[in-house]
Structure 1
Amino acid sequence: MRGTPRFGWLATASLAIFATTVRATDLVTLAPPTWDTYAPTGKEADAISGDFVLRNDRVVAVVARPVRMRNANMTVRDVGGMIIDLARRDSDGGDQLQAFYAASPTHDFQFAGVEVDEPEVFDVERNEIDGTNQPRPSMFVRARAVTLRLLSKPRPDRPLVELRYTLSDDDDAITVQTTWTNDTGRDLTITPTDALRAERTFEKAPDGSSKLFWVADSHFGQAYGVLAEGSAITSKSDARYSYLNYSVDGQAEVTLPPGASASLTRFLFPAADLFGVRAVASSIAGDRLMPASLTVRDSSGAPVAGAEVSLTIDGDRFGLGRTDARGRLSARVPDNGSEYVTEVVAPWGDRTTVVEEVSPGEFEATLPRPGFVVAEISGEDGGPIPCKVQFVGKGGTPTPDFGPDSGEVAVGNLYYSHDGRFRRALAPGSYDVVISHGPEYDAEFTELTVDRGAEARLAATLRRTVDTTGWVSSDFHSHSTPSGDNTSSQLGRVLNLLCEHIEFAPCTEHNRLSTYVPHLRRLGVEHLMATCTGIELTSTPGDVNHQNAFPLVLREHSQDNGAPMLDLDPEMQIERLALWDGYSEKLIQLNHPDLGHVFFDRNGDGEPDQGFRGMFGHMDVIEVHPPHTIFQPAVLERGGRNTNNTIVNWMQLLNQGHRFPGVVNTDAHDNLHGSGWLRNYLKNPTDDPSKIDVMDMVHAAESGHVVMSSGPFLEVLARSNGTEAIPGDDLALSGGSATLSIRVQCPNWFDVDRVQVFLNGRAVEDLNFTRESTPDAFSSEGAVRFDREIPLTLQEDTHVIVATIGEQSRLGAVFGDGGHANDLPVAVSNPIFIDADGDGFQPNGDTLGSPLPTKAN
């Protein structure tokens, strides 16, 4: 039976029909009345209003609205008419799929209709015209089976392509059918190909030809399968994409004479794991698999949740999954006498290949019992405190690997705890443990012995020894999976920021507005970290045309949540960003720039010109990291090529009158020590994150009331005749002299041994203090490592920058064995502008002994 369309939007009350009827298939257009009921969730969910949802009681799929410029995120682009979200409805993991391209997006699809079988409700409206100047279909459809039809727009050099997405009651798979029709009047050759994007933590089927293609992510608990009707699949995968090639009537390339057609049908389906993919595939193909279950216990009989189970048959990976809270994994497996090898790996690392069949189809495996760490980490008030806890095996004990760097609570050998309380299984043995909460707190370094079957208590009090009264720690630039260039959990990013004691962090995903608020609310820690919606608008060239901005208005469920479009012209892009939200006040930051390219060499030919001067009036701050290179030349040699030293170039710019405050940020893309190793301290009226006003952050940054740091807390204050100035301020000199007050604090896990004053960008030898040359200026006890008032006598207008560094120190164990553990602790103030002659500050034009930079070669 085919339903007949009737036009008109169903009343919202009709949703009750969809919500309460279980055994049927729904096709709806996402909109405010349908969003909460139908929009899927998950780490990679990308649906917006106007997309289509196909759903039955088992699976939910989102087909992106077929319009041009429909992008899922920065790198998953042109998804109009493609499947962008797909999940089992009984899956805790939710959507983990970036996209399934069932045909080339360059075919430019449009809505072509809906077909139904045994309809209950059929309401389709396609009268609305929106900004795309195309009919916007709006639907509430319920039936035993539903097909969404899409057609490509006619092109003189391409076949007409029809896409059909079908879902029936009780189906575990979306049926995807592509039909190519040659309406061009000449022979055309087609190559039936799909592309599936699933990244990083997904294991993928080996390249080559097989009946079933699969990807499986055992950590996040999601897998996908593709099975073609009447065709093997030849796959080739790279880090991001898997390309699937099919044959039609036995041909990998099909030549269509004029008027001829060819069709390909395949089945796309989600599952909790690779075992689930195999079960669905066998059901579709009519293969016979036997039900089986494996229960994993430890030697005390306790169930082992989260044990990874891998089944290899005749040397090939058949299944991969994890046990549930009962220690159980259910699957369907062949019963054909093949050679089976089952490996079970405990979350704490123990493993076994010994599996016993206790009754037909029922198997058991026993793992050695783990030990447990029971943590109670407190603040000085005895209450809970966020913290990062790092476990390093010693004396032959392996260092644990809790999960990938894109994870959430347990990442690599780290445990991020939002309240300092947790219980975690660990392999028996000895561990060095580092407990930290950012550089304002002393870290706790301790040892832990874990015995099998026993609980090892991990108790510590984290003490805030560095006094940052009046200053707020911030990171203006970091990312997670909505950015599209990484797969890190956004909840994991928030935990990383929180446990590193970042007190203000705007959410700045690439080309997409987003928010951290739901994660903070879920954890109950909104009072510990202030935030707002922001963006990194990311185009090319990357050394010029990446700009952060915050705060911005989040328009949920719209394309990119209401973000501005990028532009290949940096001047146009930054102007658009500045004018966005009705020319609202916002901070605009130039990200990781080549300042020679930006300011002096627009065309990159190595000859000075006026740069991208149209950008200058819209920029508020400039990223100048890495800060430690302030002690190095203006041009650095790296990897056999010369690069511009950004922070020195910044001081050259200051001398030319380009008065842009400097900032440093992590640009973090993973959650394993990703945030925390760089930060900005901003002057602020309150030290309570719950009371931070975002515009106070904006104004502090615009004013240059910023000290940049990888850890040390540096205070700089200039005084003359009773008037005081902090970084970013102007100070009128009285009597030709001023006093410069410098104070440096460190926690117990790194040190500084040098303080250098720069006058107009030049390191002054008489104002260079080191532990070796001036040992009395430094302390080795307590948080205050340097505290001195320095007289300045100035004959000309001078901007004063102070830097401190631990040349014989490192950030060390708090940041693990690699990565930023070897970074030098360093802090750099923004300049104080001292007017020596009373006519206002005038830059001196000094290029610091090097030519003004051009684009690095």
Structure 2
Amino acid sequence: MRASLLRCFTISALSMVLACGEPEDDAVDGGEDAGPQPTCESPPELELGDPDGHAEPLGAGPGEARAGRIAGDALPPFPSGLGMWDEGGFLLANDRVAMVIEDVGPSHLYDPWGGRPLGIARVEDGALVDVGDFGEILILTGRYTVMTTSVTVLADGSDGGAAIVRASGPLRALPFFEAITARRLSTEFEGVDAAIDYVLEPGSSHVDVRITYASSLAFPTGSITTMHGFMYTPRMPAFAPGPGFSPQSVSVDAISYTDERGVGFVYEVPGDDLSVGINASGFESRFTARRPIADCGLTTVEHARLTIGGPGVDALQRAHAEENDVAMRTIEGVVRDASGAPAAGVRVHVRASEERYLTRSLPTGDDGRYVVHVPASEGALELFAYRQGDALVGPVAIDAASTTRDLALGAGGWVRVTVADESGAALPSRIQVLPLDGASVPSVPSAFGEALPTSGRVQVALSEDGTETLRVPAGRWRVVMSRGYEYELESRDVEITSDGQTIDVSGQLARVIETPDVQCADFHIHTRRSNDSADDVTYKLRGAIADGLEIPVRSDHEFAADFTAEVGALGVEAWAYGGIGSVEMSSMELWGHMGVVPLTPDPTQINHGTPLWQEWPTPEQPDLPLRTMSPVEVFDAARARPERPTVIINHPLGDTNYFGYVGYDPVTGTVEREDDWDDEFTAVEIFNDADWRRERERLVVHWLSFLDRGRRVFAVGSSDSHGLDGSPVGYPRTCMALGTDDPRELTPPGVRDAVAQGRSTISGGIYVDATIGEAGPGADVVAGGARATVHVRVQAASWVDVDAIEIVVDGRTLDTIEILPGDAPDPVARPHVRFERDVEFDVAEGRGSYVIVAAYGDATLEPVHRGRVPFGVTNPIFVTR
């Protein structure tokens, strides 16, 4: 999560709430400053149901709905592996759809209290099928939700009526976003119990969510600001007819969360609009009309309706139309290649106008057939056909009376690529196809929701074995083969002149950078286990492997994980070590983010053993105050774990990041919040998807301020990649002296110690070595006099720009040396060594000096990493006389 996003989130959240049409404040009598409040003589009570429900909840036939406990072995796995419903719970099902609801108890993800939906599926032949990649729904009353003390079955459906699962308990503020919402949504609801009812009727495809409030307060609490929250939405892209796959900034009457491998759901409040709420960093919310809670009584409100359908957008929209008795028109046909053969893997998109997108098909199969459905009331429409690697076809008009239309793609062919090393062995690699001679790169409107490759590319493949077959339109193209910064790249120009043509391309990549016993890590990689990333974990790992990163480290928000299973599944143990578990703890817009490295995931623990940064009430301690712990308290608890992890302060600048929060002044070395200042951290993410010159007058100044005062703080460089297509893994990377070149010989403690002790350099394409005698970064050296000599070597592949070196001694630039072609010591035998020279500097009396060496260029790392600027920098070497 970027620091700039965090600042925007905190500032814009309140303005977005106000912009949605809500009154400026929901505080009323009974707020937190109103003092003791009168209570009812006879407080109302919520009804509880049966603790188990129907004995066979998955056996509903036509005209039935059932609710009851379900054994974990009846639950199929999530296709993505991210589901949390293996722990069992309650099943709400008829013969069409099903929802699984968590039992009472501590819960994974962000809502900690159980009693919430865990997943959705279709029901077919008495089994759950087409499991959706469900994330998390936050069922909110203002900023409060039910602290679940019981989950029961209110109606098991055996009477032929609706099946109902009820989660009940007192209202409590939802912990994770209290810092964002407490000032705006200030009404307090202590003294109000509530029950969330999940209601499924026989023959229905929707689940109604109702909330019954039981207020023991003898005064009106006023109207509720109704907020609807969604987490992990990148796993199920949001969609609404009209804006299509870009609905976040507009009010809608319903919003769909879609899945092409499983079912999705349409979320709505019938009769009400979903106004824009707080949308940032993976958290999305909507606001609906205020509703009152009666004093000393029961109040039931219709909170939301979830219609389940799919797979895909079109099937979900069709299920929603059926539930609302909306007549639909079917449009179908065949998509063919330019040669007339059926085309597989094509989506057909439908829109009524440029401003009003309607639906899209699933990708076509081998027969090229597609089918879509639109409301029967729609008139003339526009059809489009798109397949990655082909030009977008359309608009193709279809009038209001037609139900069939075939479509034809433009001419295109295939490029079959093989990449090897100099010995001919298969080599993991990044393979890209770029345009030549004005060839047009296909583009698609954002409303269509297509995942396009990196801008300016027709195709980008991240191959763990160096072989790919890629579709490209007719025309001239350049195929670029690369393997990160330690290798030269190769390119081949090709021309597709006829439809269906296949061209074979091969390349051998030479490794030219000398890094014996050094391996590089990216400690800040997000996958779709994070609430704000859409990237599949295997896709993210492929990105690391293809770009030559040996130590990819997952840093998912609030969930401990590593890449061990994925490295094994891909069979790439010789190229990468996936055994470094980690987590990024976020403090959600308060005092910043930190990486905890290493952290061993524990599947038996909540969020796999992620350390906590908050305390909150529980059914066992219902009056425990919600408290966000201090940074020092959290850091100490993390470091006390058995793994003895290192804490990395991530992107520390900005009011809601650590240095900004504590008010650290690099000029004076003082902080405003002394109780929150930690004196033990040794690693700071100085380079977060950023280069030396960008950070030279920002974070580098802070880094040097620690070193100037004798505190040994070391720099880390990481990508903070949330979306691989725009943020490559391993730019930059932290390269550590680990005593081996084989990833299979690495251990978490070895990597931990190298980071904590500064035995590392940062590479954004350039590799800088600095040694004093045999000592490198992080080491202590005795100079034996008033001056010392540092040996500097700068390496870069020929496609990486290197312009200058900056020598920093004791916080000041000793020299900036322009690198000229003649500076290469051996341009024929070792052209990758751009500079190698001894540099002398004075050593201060007393505590001594430190030296840092940085190198940089100004031309970007095209064609490999678009928009990134090359650099390299060492951690300090410490010298005394």
The question of a shared fold, defined as TM-score above 0.5 by the shorter chain, is answered with yes
Residue 325 of structure 1 aligns with which residue? 365
**Are 1:624 and 2:686 matched, yes or no?**
yes
Residue 574 of structure 1: CA displacement?
A: 0.5
- In structure 1, how many angstroms separate the alpha carbons of the residues matched to 2:78 and 2:695? 52
User: What is the aligned counterpart of 2:713 among 660, 675, 682?
Assistant: 660
Q: Is the 8 A contact 1:706 1:727 kept in 2?
A: yes
> For the Cα contact (< 8 Å) 1:630–1:648, is it kept in 2?
no
Report which stretch shifted further, 78-87 or 515-524: 78-87
Q: Which residue of 2 aligns with 1:845?
A: none
What's the TM-score once normalised by structure 2's chain length? 0.76
Matches within 5 A, 1:452-467: 452-467=499-514
2:286 pairs, out of 219, 238, 243, with 243
CA contact 1:83–1:99 (8 Å) conserved in 2? yes
Measure the CA separation in 2 of the matches of 1:526 and 1:58.
Answer: 44
**Alpha carbons 2:57, 2:91 under 8 Å: kept:** no
CA drift at 1:444: 1.8
**Candidates 472, 476, 494, aligned match of 2:519:** 472
Q: How far has the Cα of 1:439 moved from its partner?
A: 0.5
Change (3 A) 1:152 1:706: same
How far did 1:700 drift?
1.8
* AA aligned opposite 1:202: A
Q: Decide whether aligned partners of structure 1 residues 697 and 615 sit closer, same or farther in structure 2, where only a CA change above 3 A counts.
A: farther
Do structure 1's residue 215 and structure 2's residue 268 form an aligned pair?
A: no
Distance apart, 1:735 and its partner CA: 6.3
Quick one: which amino acid aligns to residue 832 of structure 1? I
The counterpart of 2:835, out of the listed 781, 786, 792, is: 786
Report the counterpart of residue 131 of structure 1 in structure 2. Answer: none
Partner of 1:678: 732
Q: Is the 8 A contact 1:601 1:608 kept in 2?
A: no
Q: What residue is the counterpart of 2:490 in the other structure?
A: 444
1:546-695 mapped onto 2 (5 Å cutoff): 546-556=593-603, 558-566=605-613, 567-581=628-642, 584-594=643-653, 602=662, 609=670, 612=674, 616=678, 618-625=680-687, 636=697, 645-672=698-725, 673-695=727-749
Q: Which residue of the partner structure matches residue 28 of structure 2?
A: none
Change (3 A) 1:598 1:469: same
Change (3 A) 1:27 1:491: farther
- Structure 1 portions without partners, runs of 5+: 121-142, 247-251, 637-644, 837-857
TM-score (norm 1): 0.77
Q: Give the aligned partner of residue 833 of structure 1.
A: 878
The one of 516, 533, 536 aligned to 2:581 = 533
Matched, 1:388 2:433: no
| Aligned partners of 1:42 and 1:96 also within 8 Å | no
Is residue 2:383 matched to residue 1:342? yes
| Aligned counterpart, 2:3 | none
Q: Deviations over 1:352-381 (max 9, x none)?
A: 344789x99655322234222222122223
Provide closer, same or farther for how the CA distance between residues 232 and 466 of structure 1 changes in structure 2, counting only shifts above 3 A: same
Kindly indicate whether the alpha-carbon contact (under 8 Å) linking 1:79 and 1:99 is maintained by their aligned counterparts in 2.
no
In 2, Cα distance between equivalents of 1:688 and 1:329: 49
**Aligned counterparts of 1:764 and 1:337: Cα–Cα separation in 2:** 71
Q: How does 1:794-813 map to 2 (within 5 A)?
A: 794=843, 796=845, 798-807=848-857, 809-813=859-863
* In structure 2, C-alpha distance between the alignment counterparts of 1:242 and 1:540, rounded to whole Å: 15
Q: Distance in 1 between matches of 2:581 and 2:835?
A: 38
Residues 426 and 26 (structure 1), Cα distance of their counterparts in 2 relative to 1, 3 Å cut: farther
Question: Per-residue displacement from partner, 1:767-800 (whole Å, max 9, x unpaired)?
Answer: x543359847684862111223456675746444
Task: Report the counterpart of residue 139 of structure 2 in structure 1.
Answer: 101
| CA displacement at 1:392 relative to structure 2 | 2.5
Q: How does 1:392-431 map to 2 (within 5 A)?
A: 392-400=434-442, 413=457, 414-431=460-477
Distance 1:609-1:792 versus aligned 2 partners, 3 A rule:
closer
- The letter for the 2-side match of 1:812 is E
Once the two structures are TM-superposed, the CA of residue 834 in structure 1 deviates from its matched residue by 2.4
Structure 1 residues 99-248: aligned runs within 5 Å: 99=137, 101=139, 106-110=144-148, 111-117=150-156, 146-153=163-170, 161-167=194-200, 171-180=204-213, 184=217, 193=226, 195=228, 197=230, 199=233, 201-206=237-242, 213-215=254-256, 223-226=264-267, 231-237=270-276, 239=279, 241=284, 243=286, 245=288
Match 2:750 to one of 696, 713, 729 = 696
Q: Quote the sequence identity (%).
A: 19
Within 2, Cα distance between the matches of 1:777 and 1:54? 73
Deviations 1:798-831 (A, max 9, x none): 4443424244543232212xx32xx1x2222222
Residue in 2 that maps onto 1:351: 393
Q: What's the Cα RMSD here?
A: 4.5
Contact kept in structure 2, 1:666 and 1:674, CA below 8 Å: yes
Q: Does 1:298 align with 2:337?
A: yes
Taking structure 1 as reference, are residues 146 and 222 closer, same or farther at Cα in structure 2, changes over 3 Å only? closer
Q: Judging changes above 3 Å, is the alpha-carbon distance between structure 1 residues 101 and 734 closer, same or farther for their aligned structure 2 residues?
A: same
Cα 1:651–1:258 shift into 2, 3 Å: closer
8 A contact 2:733–2:763 mirrored in 1: yes
TM superposition shift of 1:464: 0.8
Q: Residues of 2 paired with 1:334 and 1:205: CA distance?
A: 11
- The alpha carbon displacement at 1:513 in A equals 0.7
Separation of aligned partners in 1, 2:286 and 2:690: 44
Judging changes above 3 Å, is the alpha-carbon distance between structure 1 residues 377 and 169 closer, same or farther for their aligned structure 2 residues? farther
Q: Secondary structure at the match of 1:482?
A: coil
Separation (CA, whole Å) in 2 of partners of 1:4 and 1:242: 31
Structure 1 304/182 Cα, relative in aligned 2: closer, same or farther at 3 Å? farther
Return 5+ residue gaps in structure 2 as ranges: 1-47, 172-187, 614-627
Using the alignment, how far apart are the partners of 1:678 and 1:536 within structure 2? Answer: 18
What SS class does the counterpart of residue 752 from structure 2 fall into? helix
- For the residue of structure 2 that corresponds to 1:663, the secondary structure is strand
**For 1:366, which of 381, 389, 408 is the aligned residue?**
408
Q: Distance in 1 between matches of 2:695 and 2:322?
A: 67
Q: 1:319 to 1:196 in 2, by over 3 A?
A: farther
Answer whether contact 2:719 2:731 (CA < 8 A) is retained: yes
* 1:683 to partner: Cα distance: 0.5
Indicate if the aligned counterparts of 1:279 and 1:331 stay in contact, CA closer than 8 A: no
- Kept after mapping to 2: 8 A contact 1:681/1:706: yes
The letter of the residue matching 1:700 is A
| CA distance, structure 1, for counterparts of residue 81 and residue 101 of structure 2 | 17
The alpha carbon displacement at 1:480 in A equals 2.5
Higher mean alpha-carbon deviation, 446-455 vs 200-209, is at: 200-209
Shift of 1:747: 0.8
CA separation in 2, counterparts of 1:443 and 1:241? 41
Match status 1:40 vs 2:71: no
Q: Is 1:83 the counterpart of 2:117 in the alignment?
A: yes
CA pair 81-349 structure 1, distance change in 2 beyond 3 A = farther
1:302-348 superposed Cα distances (whole Å, 9 cap, x missing partner): 33333222233588543223323233333444445833333333332
Structure 1 residues 618 and 435: alpha-carbon distance in aligned structure 2, compared to 1, 3 A threshold: same
Contact preservation (8 Å) 1:293, 1:361:
yes
